[in-house]
Structure 1
Amino acid sequence: MMLDRAYRQRLEADLARWEADGVITPAALAAIRVTLPPLAPGINIAVVVAIVGGLLIAASFLAFVAAHWIELARLLRLAILLAGIVSAHGLGAWFARAGQPVLADLCASVGAIVFGAAIALVGQMYHLGGDFAGGMLLWAIGALVAAALTGSRGALAVALVAACIWSNMRVYETHDAPHLSFVVIWLTAGGLALAWNSRVAAHLVALAALPWWFATALLADPASPYVLADGAALLFGAGLALAVAPWQRASSAGAVLSTYGALSLAGVAILEAATANEAFRAHADVVSHPLWAISCGIAGAIFAFGAAATTRRAGAAFAASAIGLVLLASAVWTPPYAGEPWRAYALVLCAMICLVASAMLDTARPRIVAGWLGIAGVIAAITWTVEGSLLHRSMFLAAAGLVAVALALVLNRLLPRTRE
């Protein structure tokens, strides 16, 4: 097993600091370094040039085939497509044996892309049914199999992109959500990310969850934007729970998932603040909040509070509170009532403050960015909403600012001060 380069750099910095502080001896430091696995090979200039060259060759191959496609016999077309796939994977195997994993990954990715092009061209040749979504599913499965056999992160990215397109098209065609078939592919990809212990794969898997939640919330009939809050809560809560797991693979993947969950939670808070007024509520009577989505949101909150109870860290408790407040805001977002939605505004503001506090206590920089973006977006949404009294909003923001200052003074007395 090879170590991730960023993790190895953090480990080297920690080892040097521990040696300087006298925590470990030079002999112990040398012994630790001897037992460390090798670093994953980096990308140098030669590799970059080789990647560009490979992409140019692949593009030229596809352009040549497209230019002479009509002139070629069907069997010759099939043979060319099959040769392209076999050549890409064969070259990838040669690079893997030569100790060039980046180029091997690139070849597997090109092979997955050519496989997708082959599906489209074969369908065009033989006038197959116009089920474009079905073709995307076949492409996703083939690319996922290639990723599992080769360990290619690029092929995994191709598989997830094709699966997202397939899932969104199915929801758009049927207006029926949730599309649970996508979850099977997503969980399979998540299993590969854990087996590889790869942060790149974890980022790809976490990112692929977002289009599914968007399609489920906005393309289903009827559309239900409340589902976005439940999805963000589940992603963030599950990420926090995985991050405190005793297994390094799970904790690394959980840290990545919690980052996307925090960003999603901030986006949902901004959406709730921007739409929690009468101009949007006028059409909210047709919006439903499905029971399965409510269950997902509650499960995310349970995961988060469970992580806080397990670790007994204030940062995890604040993060769990942020999830609960956003879910509560989505509940009070619902009509019917007239006037300004002060409760929803107060809840999302408190949620974003809790998110920033959790990030500061856990020293989670991506979560800090998410929290501050959420605070800025919520304040902007409250200030520049389309209806309501601007004077009342200024009074609300002033009161909220005074409460925040008072809370800061209390926390400054209660929390231990760190030494500089």
Structure 2
Amino acid sequence: MFDKTYRQRLETDLAQWEADGVIAPAVAASIRNALPPLPAGINIAVVVAIVGGLLIAAAFLAFVAAHWTEIARLLRFVILLAGMVVAGGLGAWFASAGRTVLADLCASIGAIIFGAGIALVGQMYHLGEDFAGGMLLWSIGAFAGALLTGSRGALAVGLVAASIWTCLRTYDTPDALHLPFVAVWLIAAATAFAWNSRVAAHLVAIAMLPWWIATSLRFEFDGAQPSFLLANGAALLFGAGLAIAASPSPRALRLGSVLSIYGAFALAGVAFLEVTTVDDIVSFRTGTVPAQPLWAILSGIAGAILSLASAGITRRAGEVLAACAIGLVLLAAPIWPASAAGEPWFAYAALLCAMLCLVVSGMLDEVRPRIVAGWLGIAGVIAGITWAVKGSLLGRSAFLAAAGIIAVGFATALNRMLPRAAR
């Protein structure tokens, strides 16, 4: 809450209230004194130091790679070990000096060198060509470094390695879900919760997307529809984020709000993908294979239930509309195959209403990212209906015109009702 943007806005408001006579100067001063100090920012010197550190690390790796065949095996191992020790020692020194950003950078470089060491040692001793296993080992080492040092960069390295690992495992074994990644992700989410770090929450939210994308593409070969599976994943991420944010814990609020933001954008992206990709695939399906597996359907339903539970806890009307947005996007999946003989007008209407609910939800709860996601979703769905779907262009234009007239009529009625409700 007490970040730089909030503090600047609060300072502006305090100055304005003091000038308008709303609060006394002593009250404004007491409010300023009650605020905790802002953490040190990243200045130009720190940025230059970061670039320099990255260049030195790249030079070290390039030098070792260039002379790799000329260096004895034992010396190679010592060089790699020395690189990690130096990076860790510099990180400890920077941490003791209060240079947290540079300390985090050193821990990140150490995690990268560890991954390079795995690859080079595997090549040196001709170990088994299990690239996915190497990624898992790298991820474990990077996670260990993140837990020991609190480095957000090392956490990012670990999540990237884990994402590559799950994508490779999904490709190697397409007949089974790769659930071990879910356990790794939960550990990373618990770490972000314990750190109470917005950066770590962003990393955790982004890391969930590769697993859902790889899984949805895997099930496409079995006849399932990737965008429907992605819709269930977006619903679960959105609803779970809202439910976590509804907890009274400030740590849960920070983590849940970030997860819900990514879930909202994912939901908007899925709405666009459904309009632009589903029709070409569903029309060729025989109907013997479901468009989405049962576990994915249950995940989407769980997301809708969690969002409703969050609305019941917080008593926010915006979260009720968020649950409606989730439900309408999920509803489009079973409607679509039923309209395979013609244009899926009801599915289009459900997606448009879902994105409108997302916009209104963000406005009621004053969550700007949710508003942006809803507007992007509306633009994507309209563009998809207009250009990307086969069928009669005249029919689509009539549908869009009818939808616009209904929206304008609803807005007019709402505008007349609001003043009466205010009175």
**TM-score tier after normalising by the smaller chain length:** over 0.9
- 2:279: which partner in 1? 277
**Aligned ranges for residues 311-322 of structure 1 at < 5 Å?**
311-322=314-325
**Aligned ranges for residues 339-358 of structure 1 at < 5 Å?**
339-358=342-361
**Counterpart AA for 1:299:** A
The reply to whether residue 393 of structure 1 matches residue 396 of structure 2 is yes
Kept after mapping to 1: 8 A contact 2:283/2:340? no
SS where residue 127 of structure 1 aligns? coil
- 1:248: which partner in 2? 250
- 1:130: which partner in 2? 129
Kept after mapping to 1: 8 A contact 2:329/2:351? yes
Cα distance in 1, alignment partners of residues 354 and 324 from structure 2: 7
Cα distance in 2, alignment partners of residues 374 and 390 from structure 1: 21
- 1:307: which partner in 2? 310
**Counterpart AA for 2:80:** L
Aligned length: 418
1:196, distance to aligned residue in structure 2 (A):
1.3
Q: Which moved more, 1:117-126 or 1:409-418?
A: 409-418
Kept after mapping to 2: 8 A contact 1:281/1:335? no
Cα distance in 2, alignment partners of residues 411 and 313 from structure 1: 19
1:56-108 CA-to-partner distances (Å, cap 9, x unmatched) read: 11111111111111011111000000000011011001001111101001000
Structure 2 residues without counterparts, runs of 5 or longer: none
SS where residue 91 of structure 2 aligns? helix
Cα distance in 2, alignment partners of residues 254 and 16 from structure 1: 32
The structure-2 alpha-carbon separation of the partners of 1:407 and 1:44, relative to structure 1 and needing over 3 Å to count, comes to same
- 1:239: which partner in 2? 241
- 1:296: which partner in 2? 299
1:11, distance to aligned residue in structure 2 (A):
4.7
Kept after mapping to 1: 8 A contact 2:233/2:299? yes
- 2:336: which partner in 1? 333
- 2:365: which partner in 1? 362
Kept after mapping to 1: 8 A contact 2:216/2:229? yes
**Counterpart AA for 2:249:** W
Cα distance in 2, alignment partners of residues 100 and 85 from structure 1: 19
Kept after mapping to 2: 8 A contact 1:279/1:387? no
The structure-2 alpha-carbon separation of the partners of 1:21 and 1:297, relative to structure 1 and needing over 3 Å to count, comes to farther
SS where residue 156 of structure 2 aligns? helix
Structure 1 residues without counterparts, runs of 5 or longer: none
Cα distance in 2, alignment partners of residues 229 and 63 from structure 1: 43
Kept after mapping to 1: 8 A contact 2:282/2:337? no
SS where residue 338 of structure 1 aligns? coil
Cα distance in 1, alignment partners of residues 344 and 354 from structure 2: 16
Quote the sequence identity (%): 68
1:288, distance to aligned residue in structure 2 (A):
4.0
- 1:172: which partner in 2? 171
Kept after mapping to 2: 8 A contact 1:193/1:202? yes
Structure 2 length as normaliser, TM-score? 0.93
Cα distance in 2, alignment partners of residues 10 and 196 from structure 1: 26
The structure-2 alpha-carbon separation of the partners of 1:209 and 1:278, relative to structure 1 and needing over 3 Å to count, comes to closer
1:276, distance to aligned residue in structure 2 (A):
4.4
- 1:64: which partner in 2? 63
Kept after mapping to 2: 8 A contact 1:272/1:333? no
Cα distance in 2, alignment partners of residues 389 and 191 from structure 1: 50
